[in-house]
Amino acid sequence: MVFSINQDVLLDTLNVIQRGLPVKTPLPVLNGIKLEVFDDHLIFTASNTDIAIQTIVSDESLEITSPGKVVVPGRYFIEIMRKIVSSRVEISLIENKMMVIKADRSEFKLRVMEAEDYPDVDFLDLGKPIVMEAKTLKAIIKETNYATSQYEKRPILTGVNLKHEDDKLYCVATDSYRLSQKVLPLPADYEPFNIVIPNRSFDELNRTLDSVNDEVSMFINPNKVLFKFKNVLFQTRLLDGVYPDTLRIIPKEFPIIVKFNKEELLKAVERVSVLSPREKDNNYNIVKLNIRPDYIVEVSSTNNEIGDAVEEIVPVEDVV
């Protein structure tokens, strides 16, 4: 196995693939990145059993002398690529036991593992996808994932619920104290689904999408969901269980609608929360909102050991 490639191209690929490396694993081989070299392209694979990522590299800077496949220590390989200042690197394999990385006057040798020892990653068969812009998917993650639970008492709440119903895609997250919902149109010709994606998987997907502006295709089955964009496959397991029917929780009608300046409201909450007590179970600050008969809202907090705070906010429009 021998090939050479521009350092920046390889590093960009590794920065994506590292999202699939485990923090801890009982299988040492999963700490590695599976590298497959073909006649005209490279395939990189990483998996931590929850997330699996695969990238295909066929850049014009790639020159392949001979094919092969191997598992290379992931974090060391990535760190070497980050430290190299050469614009080009050459990678070769010595007797299937040692990978040699050459860059200008630098040379690194890494002990490798057999590619056959790497567990097979079962990526989904590609059927009809749900296609959306990357910015739309990033907005879904940003506007929902923060509301998921960080505790394992109710595992199903540690993920974001995606449900196709009534020509709409409902994206919902709740930790039982707060709830965030984003609704998008989705034609009825898609099969109905109701899945829960782990919050950590969404976090890693969001980081992977940082520089992506293309369309993203989403493929779903009962156990996994696969996101395909550019030259990347990002697959994650789904959470088991039935997600609470949050549509029943959200009122369909509101007797009072009061509109505020968003920044003014946020700053008021920040100021008042300085003295607010924290709940022991979830570490949240407790702040109270009271709508007076004149529709001015009082934001307040009371701490029996420290003191109290209150601030008034005036609506920006007439109350509906």
**How much is the pLDDT for 320?**
54
**How much is the pLDDT for 211?**
85
**How much is the pLDDT for 276?**
83
Fold of 2-117: DNA Polymerase III; Chain A, domain 2 (3.10.150)
**Cα of 125 vs its chain's centroid, Å:** 22
**At residue 257, what are phi and psi to the nearest 5 degrees?**
-125, 120
The SS3 call for residue 276 is coil
Residues sharing a CB contact under 8 Å with residue 252, sequence separation 6 or more, in sequence order = none
Name the pTM for this structure: 0.89
Closest CA to 174 of 246, 248, 247: 246
Mean residue pLDDT across the chain: 92
Class of domain 130-248: alpha beta
Say yes or no: do domains 2-117 and 130-248 share a fold: yes
**How much is the pLDDT for 96?**
74
Give the sheet arrangement for strand 288-291, strand by strand: 288-291, 297-303, 307-313
- Burial label for 27, CB within 10 Å (0-12, 13-18, 19+), is middle
In order, the DSSP letters of 162-187 are EEEETTEEEEEEE-SS-EEEEEEE--
**Cα of 118 vs its chain's centroid, Å:** 24
What torsion do the CA atoms of 209, 212, 216, 220 make, to the nearest 10 degrees?
-20
**How much is the pLDDT for 29?**
96
**At residue 21, what are phi and psi to the nearest 5 degrees?**
-75, 140
Provide the angle, in degrees to the nearest 10, between the axes of the packed helices 74-83 and 7-17.
140
Q: What gap in Å lies between CA 26 and CA 30, rounded to an integer?
A: 9
Ordered alpha helix ranges (H), 69-114: 74-83
Q: What gap in Å lies between CA 35 and CA 55, rounded to an integer?
A: 10
**How much is the pLDDT for 93?**
95
**How much is the pLDDT for 280?**
62
**Token digits of residue 24:** 């801890």
3-state DSSP percent of the chain in helix, strand and coil, to 5 = 25, 40, 40
Distances (CA, A) of 46 to 3, 61, 97, 234: 20, 23, 20, 10
Q: What angle do CA 75, 11, 7 make, to 5 degrees?
A: 125
**How much is the pLDDT for 248?**
82
**How much is the pLDDT for 319?**
61
Element (H, E) at 7: helix 7-17
- Please report how many Cα atoms fall inside a 13 Å half-sphere around the Cα of residue 75, on the Cβ side: 8
**How much is the pLDDT for 283?**
63
Delimit the domains of the chain by residue range: 2-117, 130-248, 262-313
Q: What gap in Å lies between CA 85 and CA 48, rounded to an integer?
A: 30
**How much is the pLDDT for 284?**
72
Residue pLDDT, tens place only, 271-284 = 998 888 776 666 67
- Write out residues in the chain with pLDDT < 50, as ranges: none
Distances (CA, A) of 242 to 9, 34, 53, 318, 319: 42, 35, 27, 41, 39
